[in-house]
Amino acid sequence: MKEKSWIVFLTLGILILGFSLNSLINIPLFMADDHWDWLTGDGEVIEYIRFYFLVQGAWQLGFALLVIITAVTGYRQGQQWAWYALWVVPLLLIGLSAIMFWLLPVTVVLIVVAVGALLVSRPIFFQQQAQPVVK
């Protein structure tokens, strides 16, 4: 399992990629319809909301690519920088949970999985080198 923990981060990166595509494609298309009468009739407000989803989608896309590329390159190869870098995933999820507490039932599972994968794989990244015996 230790050697395969990069797959956890690849999967998390793909999930984030899916959310980003939803924010970039589906939501702005949906908002182009006239389904927003219950919220506002002001076209400028709707355009502002659409712009917010586009910006959020772009940010999520960049983060997803960062996680995926780090997982399949440095992390998979056992490079220490990648192990440290991927701690951003559970830390970001903890931050999101603190701000948007209603996400906690979903994010707690992802946090546990990400931290578990990092802790299980730690020996791969920080192998103790044998110390030479001095006589």
Q: What is the residue-level pLDDT of the chain in tens, covering all 135 positions?
A: 557 899 999 999 999 999 899 888 877 666 666 666 667 767 787 788 888 888 999 999 999 999 999 999 999 998 999 999 999 999 999 999 999 999 899 899 999 999 999 999 998 888 755 455 665
What amino acid is encoded at 59 in this protein? W
> For tokens 């702005």, what's the residue?
28
Q: What is the structure's pLDDT at 127? A: 78
What's the token pair of residue 126? 């920080």
What's the token pair of residue 81? 């920088």
Cβ-based neighbours of 4, under 8 Å, separated by 6 or more: none
Please give the Cα distance from 47 to 53 (Å, whole number). Answer: 10
Q: What is the structure's pLDDT at 17? A: 94
Q: What is the structure's pLDDT at 134? A: 65
Please give the Cα distance from 53 to 69 (Å, whole number). Answer: 24
Q: What is the structure's pLDDT at 130? A: 47
**Burial class of residue 42 in the structure, from the number of CB atoms within 10 Å of its CB (0-12 exposed, 13-18 middle, 19+ buried):** exposed
